C-alpha cells in the first residue's frame, strides 16, 4: 500500500496540533518540540508539520511505500519518464531512518518517495553519503532534483 505524504511548515506548532487534531479527529502519532505527524488511515495519509522550514505553507509532498519493491517501482517510473531524480539511498530525517529519492514537479514542488525503515530519537543524524557531501534532510538544497527546504518529512 502507498500512503500520500504532506509536510507543512507552521509558525505555531501547538496551535497547529490543536487545529489538525480537531480536523482529523485524531491525536498525532508522534509529537516532538518542533514536529508532529499523523498517520491517518482514512484517507491513508502521512501528514506532518514542523517549525523547521521557512515561511508557513507546503514544504513538500510525497508518497510513502510499505516496502522496498513499491519504492523501486516509483523510482523506475520516474527514471522512465526522464525525470531529474536525486537518490539519497538510506538516510535519516524527521525522526526516522528511510530509503528515499526526490523528484520535482514543473512548478518546483519537491516530491519525496520513501520507505520508512525505523524511528530515530533525533530529527536527523549527521551523516556523510559516499560522495562526501553533507546529507540532505528532506528536500535537497542543491537544486539537483528538488526545491530548497529546511524541514523534513
Residue ranges of E strands in the chain: 2-9, 30-32, 35-41, 44-50, 57-65, 86-93, 96-104, 110-119
Helix (H) or strand (E) holding 40: strand 35-41
Count Cβ atoms below 10 Å from residue 107 Cβ, excluding itself. Answer: 6
Domains by residue range for the chain, with CATH:
2-119 (3.10.180.10)
What's the pLDDT tens digit per position in 80-113? 887 889 999 998 888 888 999 999 888 888 999 9
Which of 15-19, 37-41, 96-100, 105-109 shows the lowest per-residue confidence on average (mean pLDDT)? 105-109
Q: Are the C-beta atoms of 94 and 138 separated by less than 8 Å? A: yes
Q: Are the C-beta atoms of 48 and 35 separated by less than 8 Å? A: yes
What's the pLDDT tens digit per position in 125-146? 764 344 333 334 566 554 444 4
User: What b-and-e string marks burial along 85-100, b requiring 16 or more CB atoms within 10 Å of the CB?
Assistant: bbebeebbbbbbbbbb
Confidence class for position 14, pLDDT limits 50, 70, 90: very high
Q: What are phi and psi of 122, to 5 degrees?
A: -125, 165
What local confidence, expressed as pLDDT, does residue 140 receive? Answer: 55
Q: What is the pTM of this model?
A: 0.77
Amino acid at each position: 500500500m502507498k500512503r500520500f505524504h504532506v509536510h507543512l511548515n507552521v509558525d505555531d506548532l501547538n496551535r497547529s496540533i490543536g487545529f489538525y487534531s480537531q480536523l482529523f479527529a485524531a491525536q498525532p502519532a508522534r509529537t516532538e518540540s518542533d514536529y508532529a505527524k499523523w498517520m491517518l488511515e482514512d484517507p491513508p495519509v502521512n501528514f506532518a508539520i514542523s517549525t523547521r522550514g521557512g515561511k508557513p505553507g507546503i514544504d513538500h509532498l510525497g508518497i510513502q511505500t510499505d516496502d522496498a519493491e513499491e519504492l523501486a517501482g516509483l523510482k523506475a517510473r520516474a527514471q522512465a519518464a526522464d525525470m531529474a531524480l536525486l537518490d539519497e539511498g538510506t538516510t535519516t530525517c524527521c525522526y526516522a531512518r528511510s530509503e528515499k529519492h526526490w523528484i520535482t514537479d514543473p512548478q518546483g514542488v519537491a516530491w519525496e518517495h520513501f520507505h520508512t525503515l525505523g524511528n530515530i530519537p533525533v530529527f536527523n543524524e549527521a551523516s556523510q553519503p559516499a560522495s562526501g557531501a553533507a546529507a540532505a534532510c528532506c528536500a535537497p538544497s542543491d537544486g539537483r532534483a528538488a526545491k530548497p527546504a529546511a524541514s523534513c518529512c
